[in-house]
Amino acid sequence: MPTVRLRTAAEYPESAQRLFELSKSWFNYDFAEPPAMSRVMAWDPEFGGHHGRAMKRMLMPGEFTRAEKEMTAAVVSGVNACEY
């Protein structure tokens, strides 16, 4: 059970809707409701915006492909024993 009440996308201001659209496009998936992490990050755009850009910058194809980097992210999450 989350320690905070996760707001629905509709409860966020207009500026956050743009972030949710970017999230859809990033995952190439039409979520009924943005993922919990996207909504958490949209709570404070001054934090979430920078954090999200840093993440995307690192996940962009470079010497390693996006798929390889997504696998690395999954492995790091697994090693951190993070269920989310």
Partner 1 sequence: MSEDALWYEAAQVVGVTNAVNVVADALGAGSPASSLLPPVGESASDDVRALFAEVRAFYDGDVPEPFRVMANDPAYATDVFHAVKHAFADNRLGRRFKEALAFAVSLTTRSPFGTAFHLGEMKRLGVRPRGVMEILGVAQMFSSYTKIADTLQLEPDMGHIAPADPSPAPGGCPSSG
Site residues (vs partner 1, CB under 8 A): 1-4, 6, 27, 29, 35-37, 40, 51, 54-55, 57-59, 62-64, 67-80, 82-84
- The least distance separating partner 1 from the CB of residue 4, rounded to whole angstroms, comes to 6
Return the closest-CA partner of residue 45 out of 14, 10, 2.
14
DSSP label at residue 5: P
- The least distance separating partner 1 from the CB of residue 18, rounded to whole angstroms, comes to 20
Residue number with CB closer to partner 1 (14 or 82): 82
* Separation between Cα atoms, residue 68 and residue 74, nearest integer Å: 10
* Separation between Cα atoms, residue 35 and residue 64, nearest integer Å: 25
Amino acid identity at 43: W
- The least distance separating partner 1 from the CB of residue 17, rounded to whole angstroms, comes to 19
